[in-house]
Every structure is written in structure tokens, then in C-alpha cells.
Structure 1
């Protein structure tokens, strides 16, 4: 099998048991899993650690595996979202990703005093937040930090840019408060049902059959997604099913009911090797900075 493997570690696991989460992530790394995703919801009772914080905890306890928390565009302020993810990429030395969440229930949005969006408004919100996050990650050029001791300058202000973004429900001047992430742009994953595949690096597609997965994968690629992962929310798929998906999709995301059993099995399966950054592991190029050519946004 030449498919990349992602493993969901957020669901079915007590988020307060952070050490158990670390053990699972380390075991996944040892099994050659490309990345782990960490599901989250804006609401929840009891002790709760947000997915971005859990990912930050794992950043220095792992060395090669990708870390992809789910952050919701509807319940997280976009500037803070982009900053948190950029900081995660710095902390993990280039292994961060983002699973785009779009919680849109009354209960979830009541946490920030917001009403649910209609379908068109939700799609626009997802599109706007991904767009501005990518712009903010580019707001510092790669060589903006100069550390020029004789002049006492830490950075070249001409290489740090305002993004001046106007969305449907928010505006952001920028720039970001952290330098450009090591990967340039984090790997952005999201469900094909969000309707923004052109904004994604990895589209997650479901389906009850190989034919359905193939159809949705083809649509996602046509919509602009560089990579497509089949998203299995049920029991572990049989090896024969994964073999049949080889060439149909680029990877699979598993939601294991028994992570230890799945990791023992996955450790025996051939997978693409883990590289220094998640983009390198997935074969995604490091994007050029849109502001770098002349200090103005390129089209």
C-alpha cells in the first residue's frame, strides 16, 4: 500500500487524559502514520482541553508525525486561529496542519453569542477564514527577521505586510504577530462537503462504496484539491479495501474504536516515509509567499 494514513485521536478519548493522548500519538508515529487529527467541539461538559492546546502539547513530545487540530471557523476569531496554528507549526518545526471545522448549531454558537448561519453564509464564512488565514501566514516574508545587531533592528519592516482583508462578517488588517510558519503554509484539511475544495490541501471524502469514494474523489480533484483522503468513520477497513483504494485516493483517515489494535496492524503496512515537515511527507510543495515579489500581493 502506498497510501498516506491519518489517525483521528480526538473522538472516543477523554481529552483530559493528556498523557494517554501523548502515548497514542507516539505509538502512531512509531507505526509510520503521517498525521494525527484531533477532533473538537465548541461545547462540552466537564474538564476539556481544546484541540489546538492538545496539539501544542504533542508538538514537543513527537518528532516526525503531523499534528492537525480541528478549529472551527464559526467559533474562533480568525486572527487568533491563524496565530495559534502558525505557533503550532513553529513549535513542531513544520509538522502542523489544520482540520477545518464549521460547527453551526445553536448550542455551539451560543458559546460566542452568535446565531447559526444559513448554507450560503456558512460556506462564505469557511471560505473567508481559510483565505485570511493563508494571507496572514504570508504576511511575514521568509527573510523578514534580520537580527541586524549594528542597527539594532530585529526585522525588516518592509518585509512584513498588512493583509487588509474584508470578509462578509469580519475584517482584518494584519500582519500576523508571529513570523511565517516553517512550512510557509500549514496543510489545510477539510471535508469535501464544505464546498471549498479549492482552498484545501487535503479534501476528506466519505462514501459507502469504492465507487462513491471514487466519484467524490474525482469531484474534489476537479474542484482544486491537490490531495484526497478517504475518511472512514466506522470500523477499521479491511486490507483488501485499502488496497482497492490505492490509486483512487492519496490517503485514508481512520477513526479507530480500538487505537492500540489498529496501530499494531498499521505498523505492518507499507506507507510513505515520514519526512522533516508534514508538507514533505505528503509530497506538497512549500508555497511561495504571495507578498514577497515586490511588497505587494501577487495574483
Structure 2
């Protein structure tokens, strides 16, 4: 089965984004991704959490400009608010202008890779810092949680350290679904690797590096008359400018190579409804995003092994 998702890029209009997400949800798409074109992506996803009921919400949150503890907390809270539909597109802006906002300078390639890897690792550790049964709500003793099931993560990286634990219980999915480009060089830490041109080779490499799922990123402009032009400058996505039938052929060709496709419509008001009509299906019941994607709920790294303490 090839999963279809929608990438919502470059729209500063919250109402337009909400309308687009509703179209994608009603069409049965697996999830939507957001960038920071207008409202900060995590805030936008939180706004949409209670305005949706089935579709996964995947904001782009940045490892290089966001405090890791806050990032992990924001995503865990989103997973609770959506009852298990949260995902995270790992962002890593490294330009002088982006990093100047927090008083940093651009990182070298190896330092950038280590920072991204460390942030993903500490987020995953923090999501596990509460065991699933840590909250006991014992009225008789007045105990809300079992402190022995809430853990410090004691993480030390090259540029930051985090003691933990998280300030929220473990997310409903156990681990929020983590997506990121294969170019980040942290594929082993992802749930879904996003690949662009040269799909076959990159998908094979991502699987070899440990990615459970691989999705292709595709810029899409539906043009049945040959009169529209896509002016986007993305350099790391496949591109389809043409008919619905042509896109169907492209997706059929990718089906044996990737597990899903993120479709990035050029115009939310024109292309997204066309994509929904052509490729949407009957929306299924409300489920966690992991269930939709066929990803297992991970075991907690801190869960006590009977008679043996913690691993």
C-alpha cells in the first residue's frame, strides 16, 4: 500500500491552511506537513489539533534553533491533544540569518549532523522518560504518579545537556512519528525518511541505514490544459507539472520503491481539491498515525524488566 500525504508549504493564511487540512482529512490522506511560512509550525499544528479528528499533523520544528527540551514537550503535548496523531518533520536551518535569531553561527557539516542526531535522540529519550503506567491516580494515598516510573534521561551532547524527565506523560503513540530528509544523515533515527530525485537509489540507501519507511517528496501542479507554470525553486523534490493521469502514472511507478508520497500542491485552492478528487478515498476511523502507517508502538527504554531493574 502506498500512503499519500500532503505538504502545505508557504501559506501565511491560517484560515487557508485550515481549509486545506480539512480537504486533506476528508479525502483520507494520512497526514499533512507544515512549514513556518506564517504562524510557527508547532503552534499551527496545535491550533489544528482539535479542529481535526483523523489526519496526522506533522509540523517542521528546527533542531538548530529550538531548545531540545521544549521541542520534545511541544510534540508530546501535540500527540496528547490529537490522541496520537502527531508527527515531527525534522528541520535543520543552518544559514547565518536563521541562526542569528538565537545568536549562533552556522555549523560545519559534521557539527550539524551531530546536533541534529543529538536533538532527535534526546527527544526520543524524553518521550520515554515516563513509563506508560507512571500515572496511577491513587485517591486513597493521594499519589498521582509512581515516581519510580518517571526517569531522568541525563543526556549530554556536544552543545547541550538535558537531565529530564519530560513535564508531560509519555505520548499516546509512545514515540511521536519522526520524519526527515535522508540528506540530514540521521536516517537511522527516523521513522520515515523523505527522499527526492534519484528515488530508487536513495530509497534503497535509506532502508539500508535503518529507516522503517521511505516517502518520496513530490511538488505537484495539475495542468490539464498546458497553461500553468510551477515557479517553485525546490531542488530536492521530484516534480510533476501535468495532468492527473500523468501523476497517476508517476505514483504507480513509485509504488514498488517507496512506502508513500508527500504531495506538495503548488496552489492549495486549485491543486489540492484536484488531488483530493483524483486520489482521495473514504476516510477511515480515527486511529493513531502509527497505526495508519503500520508502525509499531515502541517499547519504552526505561520500562522495568521484572526482577532486573531498568535496562
Question: TM above 0.5, one fold?
Answer: yes
The worse-fitting range, judged by mean Cα deviation, of 70-79 and 258-267 is 258-267
Whole-Å Cα distance in 2 between the matches of residues 91 and 156 of structure 1?
23
* 2:229 counterpart residue number: none
Q: 2:200 aligns with which of 189, 203, 214?
A: 214
Residue 252 of structure 2 aligns to a residue whose secondary structure is helix
Report deviation, 1:266.
3.1
**Does residue 170 of structure 1 match 2:160?**
yes
Partner of 2:213: 227
2:309 matched to 1:293? no
TM-score w.r.t. the length of structure 2 is 0.88
Q: Which has the larger radius of gyration?
A: 2
Separation of aligned partners in 2, 1:171 and 1:233: 38
Alignment pair present for 1:253 and 2:262 = yes
Q: 1:216 to 1:91 in 2, by over 3 A?
A: same
Structure 2 CA distance, aligned partners of 1:82 and 1:281?
22
Deviation at 1:259, TM superposition (A): 2.5
Whether contact under 8 Å (1:70, 1:99) holds in the other structure is yes
Other structure's SS at 2:217 match:
strand
Deviation at 1:26? 0.8
8 Å contact kept, 1:191–1:204: yes
Tell whether 2:133 aligns with 1:143.
yes
1:30 and 1:21 mapped to 2: Cα distance? 14
**Partner in structure 2 of residue 38 of structure 1:** 34
| 2:279 aligned counterpart, secondary structure | coil
CA RMSD of superposed structures (Å): 1.7
- Residues 162 and 173, structure 1, Cα contact 8 Å, conserved in 2: yes
Where does residue 52 of structure 1 map in the other structure? 42
* Counterpart mapping for 1:74-113 below 5 A: 74-113=64-103
Aligned counterpart, 1:263:
273
Partner of 1:279: 290
- Counterpart CA distance in 1 for 2:277 and 2:136 is 43
Unaligned runs of 5+ in 2: 223-239, 241-246
Q: Distance in 1 between matches of 2:124 and 2:182?
A: 19
Describe the SS at the equivalent of 1:112: coil
- Partners of 1:12 and 1:257 within 8 A in 2: no
What is the deviation of 1:21?
Answer: 1.3
C-alpha distance after superposition, 1:224-283 (max 9, x if no partner): 000000011354641101011111100011111122433333344266964510000000
- What SS does the corresponding residue of 2:97 show, helix, strand or coil? helix
Give SS of 2:295's match: coil
> Residues 117 and 203 of structure 1: is their aligned pair in 2 closer, same or farther, counting only changes over 3 Å?
same
Is the partner of 2:29 in helix, strand or coil?
coil
Residue 194 (structure 1) aligns with? 184
